[in-house]
Amino acid sequence: MISIIGGSGFVGTRLISSLENNTFFNYDKNKSVFFNSSTIKCDIIDKKSFQLNKETSGVVLLAAEHRDDVSPLSLYYDVNVKGTENVLKKMDEFGIKHLSFTSSVAIYGLNKLNPTENHPEDPFNHYGKSKWQAEQVIKEWYEKDPEGKSITIIRPTVIFGEKNRGNVYNLLRQIASGKFLMIGKGQNKKSMAYVGNVVAFIKHRLELAEEGYHVFNYVDKPDLTMTSLLKVIEKSLNKKIPSIRIPVWLGFLGGYGFDFLAFITRKKLAISSVRVKKFVATTQFDASKVHSSGFKPPFTLEEGLDRTLNYEFVQERSEDEEVFYTE
């Protein structure tokens, strides 16, 4: 029996949909629109309400605070660090030794030169800092009693896919609409990961159950520049997409303006200085380890983009269809 913690969200829902019935439980503070009968409502930061089925053979820990606008900032650490500690304590209680933990390439920081899994940590935001601290908690737990334990730490880059409403979706929507503003020259490279491949890798590691402590960056190659991404989207949608280019300094000026507007209106806005910073940064990560591990992604990056673009901007969909907001 697999216990998925935080499985009501974007990645968790895709993972659950790929599993056979009666082989999993989902533990989440939110209901699952698609798998509510298999969902137990609880919160990992609440020791009294959080529980695991004693028949659990392995845990997939997806629960996290990850949006750019989390408030108060202490929530990052309450959920991502203390919540992880609570999960490990419950695993000890039932003698569970198999864990798959979804971390993030955010631990490396921005504008690093294609970092491998051994690159020093240098997170630039509280999400990255809290994920790195959670990894240290898990490593300490493993090293305290490593016998028989199988730990997989997956550090995915930004994940995109059908029904996701995150930074990649916002970017694709702007480009597809023909109202795209390119900040800078467009030569900064972006690593991306299609949700169908991330889920397949999680399943692969669960089935392998390899003993030891293993860390993987997850990226679908090749990395695309913003200009080459624009061309891939044009090819997929079969149309020419005009774009306006502005210098980086002007992009940041606009971002800070939206920060101020968000502050005085107390509203969460789609544009911010943090998102401009992410847009113009080179976010490129080495994934040679995962792609030489024997895992074969079911989709190429271009296929993942094509599937997402076709679903979101070509096919007719119901207006009340359930989607997942991740940024």
Active site residues: 127
CATH number of 54's domain:
3.40.50.720
What's the domain count of the chain? 1
Q: Is residue 202 part of a domain?
A: yes
pLDDT of res. 106: 95
Q: Is residue 305 part of a domain?
A: no
Q: Is residue 127 part of a domain?
A: yes
Report phi then psi at 155, rounded to 5: -110, 85
* pLDDT one-digit tens code per residue, 219-254: 999 999 999 999 999 999 999 988 789 999 999 999
Q: Is residue 314 part of a domain?
A: no
The strand pairing partners of 150, in sequence order, are 98, 212
| Residues making up the chain, counted from first to last | 327
Q: Is residue 55 part of a domain?
A: yes
Q: Mean per-residue pLDDT for 157-166?
A: 94
Residue 320: band (very low, low, confident or very high) from pLDDT cuts 50, 70, 90? confident
Q: Is residue 140 part of a domain?
A: yes
Q: Which of 16-20, 145-149, 252-256, 279-283 has the weakest average pLDDT? A: 279-283
Give the three-state DSSP class for 324.
Answer: strand
CB 86 within 8 A of CB 44: yes
For 213-231, the DSSP string reads EEEEEE-EEEEEEHHHHHH
Both structure tokens of 278: 């992410």
Determine if residue 210 is left, alpha or beta; phi over 0 gives left, psi from -120 to 50 gives alpha, anything else beta: beta
Q: Is residue 282 part of a domain?
A: no
CB 14 within 8 A of CB 35: no
- pLDDT of 68 over the 80 cut: no
Domain that holds residue 70: 2-164+191-221
Both structure tokens of 203: 């399943």
Q: Is residue 248 part of a domain?
A: no
